[in-house]
Structure 1
Amino acid sequence: MTVKRSRGERAGLTREKVLDAALALVDQEGPGALSMRRLGAELGVEAMTLYHYVPNKDALLDGLVERVIAEAGRSVAEARGGEDGTTPWQDALSGYARSLRAALLLHPGTLPLVSSRPAATPGTLTAVERGLEILRGADFPLGQALHAFNSLTLFVVAHAASEVDTAPVNEGGGTGSTDFLAGLDPEELPLLVEAANTGAGTDDEERFTFGLTALISGFAAARGQ
């Protein structure tokens, strides 16, 4: 007996391929350009065909968040080195934060989605669960473990969003240009003028590392209190 395949199956579609195409579209044109009709056109199928792989647009958007979080979540899931069988929790959180920042900067169109949609898919929830396991293993109470993981994620998302928003400024000009700092009165604002002239405190990577280190150190100090 011949099994009749759907058009999506004939096109070789899977949920992963649908999400990959949606991610590419969002990367190129932003989340506002994403619709089931437009995505179907990109994949060469009718929009209705996509509902075999994602039940609705909300599920599609959740899937995009999952793709980005999963890239960072893998670093947490693989945090199993060390002499005692586990990577130090500080290194595990740092690796997660750096991986998440890299994924967000690679896919900046997903930033509005990641910042506004809760972890709602098995992939995103698994990443959170792995992070909580590491923190619970480091003697963080469950509530503090969740606070720490969520605080860290919010810091990374906000920092990445700031980097993306100010990129045109850093590349020279724009409405948010910081050129005006050079004209400040050095007698009234000597420290800001010095920073403007020397570039102190303006490097994104340095600021991210400083904030990340401070957060993790603070988690350690507050643990169990």
Structure 2
Amino acid sequence: MSGEPSASRRERLTRERVLRAALAVADAEGLAALSMRRVAVELGVETMALYRYTESKDDLLDGLVETLFLEVEERLSDARRAIGAEQPEGAAVGLPELRDALHGIARELYRVAVEHPNVISLCASRPLTVPLARRPPAVLRVHERLLALFRAAGLDDDAALRIYRAFISWVLGYVVVDLRAVVDDPDEPDPAFRLGLHRLPARDFPTLRAYGPALAERGGEEQLIAGLDALLTALGPDTAA
């Protein structure tokens, strides 16, 4: 071996490369393992070389949120092109089309979350730590897409904001809860011990113990959509399925 770095490691650093490397580390090892030094090792560079592209660990975490939302936007754009559904800006949207569009956004958010379960909790927490105007454009585009859809569907401002808040809260909340860690010992073959139910006193938590095996299963996309439709129905007849 020549000892020279591989072609991929000789590739010029960019912010995108740094964030993709950070995402790979978090996916494989969890957020606890993520650090500037660990990302530098992943890229085969000195740690100080990263600070040109991400100034701190907090900036790195915000960058992961940006990367995930970019994935969501790319998937939504690809899906619309695949069915020839690109519409002129400001074109009217019927209520059935609005519902279908909301389903599509929810599903793509969920699918990205399933691919990056170690990171998705950041999407519910990190944006809340910075003012709206300082959030990454990739994060803002999803919100812009939603509000533009509501306007195109002819909803008044009160209805648009009501549904917007309900949609964001339900989808992000569902995703975080559905992908939470439940298994206590993945290597344990016995289901009860695998879930750690023996750690829950039967006298204090009988119902939680009974539901434990079911809680370990993901609800999946269909329960996500069922809950979303229930919300739309409850928010008013104009948005019902």
TM-score normalised over the length of structure 1: 0.72
- Matched AA of 1:101: Y
1:81 aligns with 2:85: yes
| 8 Å CA contact retained: 2:147, 2:164 | yes
Q: For structure 1, which segment, 204-213 or 139-148, has the greater mean C-alpha deviation from structure 2 after superposition?
A: 139-148
Superposition deviation, residue 145 in structure 1: 2.6
| 8 Å CA contact retained: 1:74, 1:127 | no
Partners of 2:28 and 2:237 in 1: CA distance: 42
Aligned to 2:125: 116
Question: Please, which runs of 5 or more residues in structure 1 have no aligned partner?
Answer: 1-8, 190-194
Aligned to 2:69: 69
2:85 counterpart SS class: coil
Aligned to 2:112: 103
Partners of 1:56 and 1:67 in 2: CA distance: 16
Partners of 1:19 and 1:95 in 2: CA distance: 26
Aligned to 1:26: 26
Partners of 2:164 and 2:197 in 1: CA distance: 32
- Matched AA of 1:54: T
Aligned to 1:127: 142
Residues 28-50 of structure 1: CA deviation (Å, up to 9, x unaligned): 22212111111111111112211
| 8 Å CA contact retained: 1:75, 1:96 | no
Question: Please, which runs of 5 or more residues in structure 2 have no aligned partner?
Answer: 1-8
Partners of 1:141 and 1:124 in 2: CA distance: 24
Partners of 1:76 and 1:141 in 2: CA distance: 25
Q: Classify 1:135/1:40 alpha carbon distance in 2 versus 1 (closer, same or farther; 3 Å).
A: same
Q: For structure 1, which segment, 22-31 or 159-168, has the greater mean C-alpha deviation from structure 2 after superposition?
A: 159-168
Matching residue within 175, 196, 205 for 2:196: 175
| 8 Å CA contact retained: 2:106, 2:225 | no
Partners of 2:234 and 2:118 in 1: CA distance: 31
Query: CA RMSD of the aligned region, Å?
Result: 3.5
Partners of 1:104 and 1:49 in 2: CA distance: 30
1:207 aligns with 2:223: yes
- Matched AA of 2:140: L
Q: Classify 1:74/1:16 alpha carbon distance in 2 versus 1 (closer, same or farther; 3 Å).
A: same
| 8 Å CA contact retained: 1:69, 1:124 | yes
Superposition deviation, residue 166 in structure 1: 5.6
Partners of 2:181 and 2:49 in 1: CA distance: 39
1:216 aligns with 2:232: yes
Partners of 1:210 and 1:24 in 2: CA distance: 32
Superposition deviation, residue 160 in structure 1: 2.2
TM-score normalised over the length of structure 2: 0.68
Aligned to 2:14: 14
Partners of 1:65 and 1:207 in 2: CA distance: 24
Residues 97-119 of structure 1: CA deviation (Å, up to 9, x unaligned): 01101111210111331121116
| 8 Å CA contact retained: 2:73, 2:142 | yes
Superposition deviation, residue 141 in structure 1: 3.1
Partners of 2:118 and 2:42 in 1: CA distance: 17
2:12 counterpart SS class: coil
Partners of 1:122 and 1:82 in 2: CA distance: 21
User: Alignment length, in residue pairs?
Assistant: 198
Residues 164-215 of structure 1: CA deviation (Å, up to 9, x unaligned): 236538x93313599x8xxx8xxxx9xxxxx98xx8xx77134323202212
Residues 69-88 of structure 1: CA deviation (Å, up to 9, x unaligned): 22223455565728977581
